Amino acid sequence: MLTTERAAGNFAYNSSDGSSPFVNERFSSSRGTGEAWSLVWRYKKFLAIVITVGALLSLLLSFALPAEYAATSAIVFDRNDTRPYEAVVEAQKQERDKSSMDTELDIIRSRVFMGTVVDALNLVADPFYNSYLSVAEPNALSLAVRRISGWFLGGEERDGRRSPTKRIISETAQRDRAITTLLGTFTVDRKGDSLALTITVRQPSPIQAAAVADAIARHYVEWTSNLKSVATSETIKYLRQQSDELAVSITKREREIAAFTATSDLTFDPKDDLLRARTEQLNEQFTLARVDEAGEWAKVNEAKARLASGGEEDIGKVVTSDLLTSLRTEGARLQRLRGQLTSKFGNNHPLVIDADAEIASNRKMILDEASRILQELENNARVASIRVKNFEQAVSVLQDRVQSRNLAEIRRRELERDLLSEQKRYDAVELRLSALDPDREQFKATAMVSSFAEVPVQPSFPQPLFIFGAGLVGSSLLALMGMIILDNLDSRIHSSKTVSAILGRPNIVSVPGCALKHDVAKETGSRLLADENSGLAIAARTLCLAWKTIDSSPGSKVVMFTSTSRRDGKTMLSVAMAASAQREGLSTILVDLSAGAVNAYSVTSSRGLANSPIAGSDLKHMVTRSPSYPFLDVLTGRPSLQQYRELFNALRQHYDLVIVDTPATDTAQDAIWLSAHVDSIFVIGVLHKTRQAALVDLVERLNLNHAFIIGGIINSAADHGSSVKRIDWTIARNMLASLRVFSLKRST
């Protein structure tokens, strides 16, 4: 079982959640100007091809399209729209507003009006407007083709007679086709609230375009005037017919009213109606009689109530007469006399007794007189009641006669209302006839042609400069969209930030273009010896410095290089770092486990491991010197599975630095399981080649063994210009990142 003594959480992030401070920091940042320019530069060929093709196609299109000329005419409408045929007075002279102008636009674009223009200009005979002409009258080539096809298919006789299946286009269909084409070749519009309509006709022929534009404008004015004239004439004709019919109807109704009045014994003047006057007089008398009857019976009832109460004083308040008045006066005198005698002589004096007798006699006479007067009141009340009954009977008889007369009056008034309605309609018709002036033959048009079309000398379409500019802009936008789509679909690595985000470790160095070829490994030593300031030499020294700074724990000497695919420069970087460390005075050995044709073994004559037993003394005969760099020890081949731990322990005792070059993970999985036996790992990625998914898979599998990844190495295989400057800047950035990681390591 693979084991390691390194702490699992010091330098490797947990593969279960895949998060690290580097990942969050990298992916949270947005793209800036540099990234955008890098993206454009990456797809420069694609952008150039799409933009060039689009510009060339637009240029060819501008010259290939047929020329089209535009002719413009204008119509101006009056502010007031006179409509003499309208029934409403307010609508006969109405100001034009936006809705009326929109209606004029719809009318001038209608197929009905366009049909009149087609008929007036005989556009059915024009092949440009009537495309059926080419079918109805084929040329010689089409006739020959038809004859040959009829020869084989039997659609035409061999003697040259016409085929009975020849297509025949009706005149109505040809006219509709001409109308449709005309509608598609002209436009009409207006600006804001203007009363002017602008008519624009586009055609290949400039002369015909101007002629059609003028014809549409002139014909619209004439057509609307004719429509108004026809509408007015029809209105006059209708009004005259209505006037004659109403005159006959009025005469007929007047005769009906006269005959009905004579039959029903009616009068036209209310003053001549004796029955109604008698009825009104009798009603007045009947009302007075009922009032008198009520008054008489009221007196009788009140007098009876007074008599029933038994007081002659109360009776006097109801009934009066001269005798009753004198008797009441005499009774008052006798009362005074009795009072004097009683006070003077007492109640039993004869004079007092005589006075009492006279008072009683006076009272009896008063009662008798009151009874007589009451009887007289009753008689008067009965007479009033009889008089009321007589009036009631007379009124009932008159009411029956009046009711029958009222029904006749209702019918006559109905006839009179009908007659009045007919008279009002007749008056309105005569008023409209007088306003229309039937003797006038012409009506003023409410529109006029304000501008006739000028024959165009320059085509309005196509405009080569505009089409070329539009094509250039459109192809540029299309290229940018395609670039964005391709970039979203592209899963390769294009920047060091992506590698750092995936590894969760900083990018140590970016090596200028050094993709591994057949002769790269042989030339690596000579290149380092020839130029110490080359990009490869600087990158090798940077790798040594990063290894010494970051992986400085005791006993950490074994460094492994790995990548996701072949020809990523892995062997070259291993040789370069080993050579650079050897020059710095470190005893270094390169362990080449790669099985490919291009590896360190191909430049050595090593006898290899070859399943030989490994011991401290046995390493000497296995190690060889590289012919490209004679001071570098190289150990090639693959030991057995049990020898890896013994091999690396033995190498740690004899060398200061052990560099292991493993096969790419797409060909073998040795690097995954060797990660548990090495001290640190460099992961190599190639710009525009290494897939992000492959790199993520590699990192996740390395984390299974808690491998310590020092950092990433970017092989800028596609970047050749200004590579040394980028290496210098990369060294500065990566040194800062290395110091940061080193401080984190010390703190943990």
Rg (CA), the chain: 65
Q: Read off the pLDDT band of 217 (50, 70, 90).
A: very high
What letter does residue 162 receive in the DSSP assignment? P
Q: Which helix (DSSP H) or strand (DSSP E) does residue 445 occupy?
A: none
What letter does residue 195 receive in the DSSP assignment? S
Q: How many CB atoms lie within 10 A of CB 564?
A: 25
- Cα–Cα distance, 147 to 169 (Å, whole number): 20
Q: Contact at 8 Å (CB) between 461 and 202?
A: yes
The mean pLDDT of 295-320, rounded to a whole number, is 68
Higher pLDDT, 270 or 300: 300
What's phi and psi for 590, nearest 5 deg? -105, 115
696-723 tens-digit pLDDT: 988 998 888 888 888 888 887 544 333 3
- Cα–Cα distance, 706 to 677 (Å, whole number): 11
- Cα–Cα distance, 269 to 228 (Å, whole number): 50
pLDDT at 453 > cutoff 80: yes
Higher pLDDT, 100 or 438: 100
Q: In this structure, is the dihedral angle defined by the CA atoms of residues 70, 71, 76 and 77, taken in order, positive or negative?
A: negative
Strand-pairing partners, residue 633, are: 589, 625
Q: Contact at 8 Å (CB) between 624 and 605?
A: yes
Selection from 223-227, 319-323, 387-391 with the highest mean pLDDT: 223-227
Q: Read off the pLDDT band of 582 (50, 70, 90).
A: confident
Q: Contact at 8 Å (CB) between 690 and 565?
A: yes
What's phi and psi for 675, nearest 5 deg? -65, -20
Strand-pairing partners, residue 199, are: 73, 188
Q: Contact at 8 Å (CB) between 748 and 7?
A: yes
629-649 tens-digit pLDDT: 666 788 887 666 557 788 888
Higher pLDDT, 405 or 438: 405
In this structure, which amino acid lies at residue 166? K
- Cα–Cα distance, 331 to 323 (Å, whole number): 12
Closest CA to 53 of 475, 480, 473, 465: 475
Query: Any idea which of 80-84, 237-241, 558-562, 669-673 has the lowest mean pLDDT?
Result: 80-84
Q: What pLDDT does residue 641 have? A: 59
Q: What pLDDT does residue 446 have? A: 78
Higher pLDDT, 494 or 718: 494
The mean pLDDT of 180-199, rounded to a whole number, is 89
Query: Any idea which of 60-74, 242-256, 327-341, 687-701 has the lowest mean pLDDT?
Result: 327-341
Measured CA angle at 321 (ends 320, 325), to 5 deg = 85
Selection from 275-279, 483-487, 528-532 with the highest mean pLDDT: 483-487
- Cα–Cα distance, 523 to 543 (Å, whole number): 19
Closest CA to 438 of 430, 446, 447: 430
Q: Read off the pLDDT band of 71 (50, 70, 90).
A: very high
Closest CA to 656 of 534, 521, 495, 548: 548
Task: Report the greatest alpha carbon distance in the chain.
Answer: 200
Give the pTM.
0.49
- Cα–Cα distance, 114 to 581 (Å, whole number): 92
Closest CA to 504 of 144, 28, 1, 21: 21
CB burial of 435-459 (b: ≥16 within 10 Å; e: otherwise) equals ebeeeeeebebbbebebebeebeeb
Closest CA to 43 of 483, 481, 478, 477: 483
Q: What pLDDT does residue 200 have? A: 93
342-374 tens-digit pLDDT: 888 878 888 888 888 888 888 888 777 777 877
Selection from 127-141, 201-215, 535-549 with the highest mean pLDDT: 201-215
In this structure, which amino acid lies at residue 61? L
Measured CA angle at 721 (ends 716, 726), to 5 deg = 60
- Close Cβ partners of 93 (under 8 Å, ≥ 6 residues apart): 80, 81, 82, 83
pLDDT at 656 > cutoff 60: yes
pLDDT at 155 > cutoff 50: no
Q: What pLDDT does residue 72 have? A: 93
Q: Contact at 8 Å (CB) between 484 and 262?
A: no
Query: Any idea which of 189-193, 384-388, 426-430 has the lowest mean pLDDT?
Result: 384-388
Q: What pLDDT does residue 266 have? A: 67
In this structure, which amino acid lies at residue 343? S
Closest CA to 661 of 596, 570, 557: 570
Closest CA to 543 of 366, 680, 420, 344: 680
The mean pLDDT of 578-583, rounded to a whole number, is 84
**Considering the chain, what percentage of its residues have pLDDT values greater than 90?**
11
- Cα–Cα distance, 110 to 723 (Å, whole number): 71
The mean pLDDT of 416-425, rounded to a whole number, is 88
Tokens 């008198």 locate to 292
Q: How many CB atoms lie within 10 A of CB 390?
A: 12
Higher pLDDT, 80 or 680: 680
Distances from the Cα of 725 to the Cα of 73, 157, 535, 720, angstroms: 68, 86, 9, 11
What is the token pair recorded at 311?
């007081």
Higher pLDDT, 738 or 407: 407
Coil, strand or helix: which one is 73? strand
Q: Which helix (DSSP H) or strand (DSSP E) does residue 718 occupy?
A: none
Coil, strand or helix: which one is 131? coil
Q: What pLDDT does residue 297 have? A: 82
Q: What pLDDT does residue 95 have? A: 77
pLDDT at 8 > cutoff 60: no
What's phi and psi for 560, nearest 5 deg? -115, 135
Q: Read off the pLDDT band of 115 (50, 70, 90).
A: very high
Rounded-to-10 torsion of CA 421, 425, 426, 428: 140
CB burial of 650-663 (b: ≥16 within 10 Å; e: otherwise) equals bbbeebebbbbbbb
Strand-pairing partners, residue 198, are: 74, 189
Tokens 């009036």 locate to 391
Question: Cis peptide before 462, with omega less than 30 degrees from 0?
Answer: yes
Q: What pLDDT does residue 25 have? A: 39
- Cα–Cα distance, 147 to 513 (Å, whole number): 71
Strand-pairing partners, residue 691, are: 492
Higher pLDDT, 250 or 348: 250
Output the average pLDDT for the chain: 75
Q: In this structure, is the dihedral angle defined by the CA atoms of residues 284, 286, 287 and 293, taken in order, positive or negative?
A: positive
Coil, strand or helix: which one is 654? helix
Q: What pLDDT does residue 381 have? A: 81
What letter does residue 561 receive in the DSSP assignment? E
CB burial of 221-236 (b: ≥16 within 10 Å; e: otherwise) equals bebbbeebbeebeebb
Q: How many CB atoms lie within 10 A of CB 510?
A: 26
Q: Read off the pLDDT band of 561 (50, 70, 90).
A: very high
Q: What pLDDT does residue 719 have? A: 44
Q: What pLDDT does residue 313 have? A: 57
Higher pLDDT, 404 or 705: 705
Distances from the Cα of 545 to the Cα of 255, 449, 483, 540, angstroms: 133, 91, 39, 9
